[in-house]
Structure 1
Amino acid sequence: MFRRFVSFLLLAWLFGFVWFAVALPGPLGKRHTDAIIVLTGSSGRIEHALDVLHAGEAPVLLVSGVDREVKRGEFAAQYKVSARLMGCCITLGYKAYDTRSNAIEAGEWVRRRGARSVRLVTADWHMRRAFLESAREMPAGVTLLPDAVPSRPSLSALFLEYHKLMARQIIALWGS
């Protein structure tokens, strides 16, 4: 009986990991929202969020998890953002240092802004956990939409992220 139970758990873990690795979330596409939140990290995330902002699909953008050493002018120069757009529409968030704190920073920003619909931008392999964390921190009534940036994650990155997601889901089930 014990071996069957362990075998079942092992198979559930294996099939869960295969699903996680093969069925990565994709881009949202054209959809207007009240705000965009992008989590810093792997390449392509900020560029994609800025493309969405330039396309007029949302009026404001929070870049969560910016290094404290990065100045607004440096950010603008690196991503070729005009002073006008930096002044009106882009908030650099310096409080976050991991996915959990990204979610807290984003939730506070959305609360202050009064946004009702938010596009969450991060890498495809990171989206499920980032979405789980962010959804928990959003004010009631806010629609959170995933907008995953396609990437080519390594097997080790997928393995680590799968286990972080499983751990976070277990913690959530226990009411933390």
Structure 2
Amino acid sequence: MAAAGRPRHRRLRIVLAVLALLFALWAAGLADFVRRIPGPGMRDEGTADGIVVLTGGAERLREGLRLLAEERAPRLFVSGVHRDATLAQILAYVPEYQADRRAAEAVACCVELGHAADNTAGNARETAGWISDGHLKSIFLVTADYHMPRSLLEFHRALPGTLIKPHAVFPEDSVRRDWWRRADTLVLVLVEYHKYLLALLRGLFDPGPAVTDGPHEARQTAASGPALP
């Protein structure tokens, strides 16, 4: 009777050991992911050939336009814009341009919208087409701090020959040192971490650079009519 129970106990110990190992790997990966989330002092202060803003918050667009105004790069590309949205509609989310038509017209020549992407991998593919069209060698990548690790993973995969300079913004739900103490940031980090893991796994089956979508959609001007964002 006792002898019959030994294999069962041995299997249980093996299962528990495997689960403990998997949890340790998961926790180590989470720690590495959090380490990759940039802080306020981790921005590149140089210049680049272009600026890429990933949609998802007015702070991102505002920061991209600030870089453009400071002549840190001559062109700005906003990826993942709603198909019906125009530049005028997008600029309406930025107070500095909302009531200043001249300011909006001043940047219309240098801001382009991409309408094809609906996720981060799509952002990278869409941007690859824009970079290929413009023969750019370097970009500022503007997105939220918690979104930056996965964005860099996708962009490095799609743009192996491009210098990518991460330029994070820090919205109200940005990741702080005590992120685990608040339910909202805890959920945010865990969700983003698992999306990051899925992106890593997808790269194991498709490690090469992403295929571009070809030339990006035509530039929208500040004088264009209104559309849903």
TM-score normalised according to structure 2 size: 0.70
Q: Distance in 1 between matches of 2:146 and 2:30?
A: 12
Specify the SS of the correspondent of 1:120.
strand
Specify the SS of the correspondent of 2:139.
strand
Percent identical pairs in the alignment equals: 32
Conserved 8 A contact 2:88-2:104: no
Q: Distance in 1 between matches of 2:83 and 2:202?
A: 30
2:158 counterpart letter in structure 1? E
1:167 counterpart letter in structure 2? L
Cα deviation, residue 170, structure 1: 1.5
User: In the alignment, which of 44, 48, 51 is matched to residue 59 of structure 2?
Assistant: 44
**Cα 1:43–1:21 shift into 2, 3 Å:** farther
Cα deviation, residue 125, structure 1: 0.5
1:161 counterpart letter in structure 2? E
Alignment length, in residue pairs? Answer: 174
**Cα 1:19–1:136 shift into 2, 3 Å:** closer
Q: What is the aligned partner in structure 1 of residue 48 from structure 2? A: 33
Conserved 8 A contact 1:40-1:64: yes
Cα deviation, residue 3, structure 1: 2.6
Pairwise mapping of residues 42-121 of structure 1 onto structure 2 (< 5 A)?
42-79=57-94, 80=97, 81-86=103-108, 88-121=109-142
Specify the SS of the correspondent of 2:90.
helix
User: In the alignment, which of 143, 166, 169 is matched to residue 200 of structure 2?
Assistant: 169
Specify the SS of the correspondent of 2:142.
strand
Cα deviation, residue 102, structure 1: 0.7
Cα deviation, residue 150, structure 1: 2.0
Verify: 1:158 aligned to 2:189, yes or no.
Answer: yes
**Cα 1:83–1:150 shift into 2, 3 Å:** same
Greater shift after overlay, 49-58 or 153-162?
153-162
Q: Which runs of 5+ in 1 are unaligned?
A: none
Verify: 1:146 aligned to 2:161, yes or no.
Answer: no
RMSD, matched Cα? 1.9
Q: Which runs of 5+ in 2 are unaligned?
A: 1-13, 98-102, 175-184, 208-229
Larger radius of gyration: 2
Specify the SS of the correspondent of 2:146.
coil
Moved over 4 A (4+): none
